[in-house]
Amino acid sequence: MVAKLKTKTDSKAEFATFIKEYIKNPDKRKSLYGKRAIKKYGLMPSLENVLDDKQIVKLTDFLYNYEENTMLKEKKTRIVVKKITKGEKLFTKNCAVCHAKVLGITNSDGYENSYITTAPYISKLVAKLKEKTGSQEKFTQFIEEYVKDPEKRKSLYGKRAIKEYGLMPSLEGSLNNDDIKELSKYLYNYDTN
């Protein structure tokens, strides 16, 4: 509604005057939004006694800036959604340098950027290990073991990866047990779709 009324009025003042007028005295002849809406919903009732002039000014101001206001709100929620967990932080710091989260990005010009992968793609890795371990407990145990002491015999992901990339180095010392637990939880819940 706001977008349409903005195109139908020439200035903020005209927009405000229209709203003020319409709130007090809705009239089919005055409608700028279109008579189809009146047919569909019926004419809006007058709010003459509901809002005083000061309130109407505030309201028209809010409406005039509506898009801006909602966009700001959306920006705020996006930040909240993006808040990262401890597990994700640990992964970014200790694992992502080898285990890519993204395989490639297609730029707007259609050119494909792919990463050089030095270890299995994390999404594939998690999916396979979940299948091989069968429970969160075993999954966690395996990660704990492998991060501290990677060994060919222990591999569940498959020896092909070891042949292709070499054995993963031990990260014992760079992560404590709590960190590894947090990391396993993050990986177990990793969205592999």
Query: Is residue 95 a contact point for ligand HEC (CB under 6 A)?
Result: yes
Q: Which of 2, 37, 51, 171 binds ligand HEC (CB under 6 A)?
A: 171
Q: What is the DSSP letter of 112?
A: E
For residue 40, the number of C-alpha atoms closer than 13 Å in the C-beta half-sphere is 5
Cβ of residue 135: shortest distance to ligand HEC, in angstroms?
15
Identity of the residue, 64 or 120, whose beta carbon is nearer to ligand HEC in the bound complex: 120
Vertex 122 angle, CA 106 and 149, to 5°: 150
Tell the burial category of 166 from Cβ atoms under 10 Å away from its Cβ (0-12, 13-18, 19+). exposed
Cβ of residue 192: shortest distance to ligand HEC, in angstroms?
13
Cβ of residue 168: shortest distance to ligand HEC, in angstroms?
3
Determine contact, residues 128/150, Cβ cutoff 8 Å: no
What is the x/- site pattern for ligand HEC, positions 99-128, by CB under 6 A? x------------------xxx----x---
Q: Which amino acid is at 63?
A: L
The contacts of residue 136 (CB under 8 Å, 6+ apart) are 188
Q: What is the DSSP letter of 34?
A: -
Nearest to 182 by CA among 151, 144, 135: 144
Query: Is residue 97 a contact point for ligand HEC (CB under 6 A)?
Result: yes
Cβ of residue 178: shortest distance to ligand HEC, in angstroms?
13
- C-alpha 66/C-alpha 47 separation (Å) is 20
Cβ of residue 179: shortest distance to ligand HEC, in angstroms?
8
Q: Which of 9, 31, 94, 117 binds ligand HEC (CB under 6 A)?
A: 94
Query: Is residue 162 a contact point for ligand HEC (CB under 6 A)?
Result: yes
Which residues are at the interface with ligand HEC (CB under 6 A)? 94-95, 97-99, 118-120, 125, 129, 143, 146-147, 150, 155-157, 161-162, 165-169, 171, 175, 183
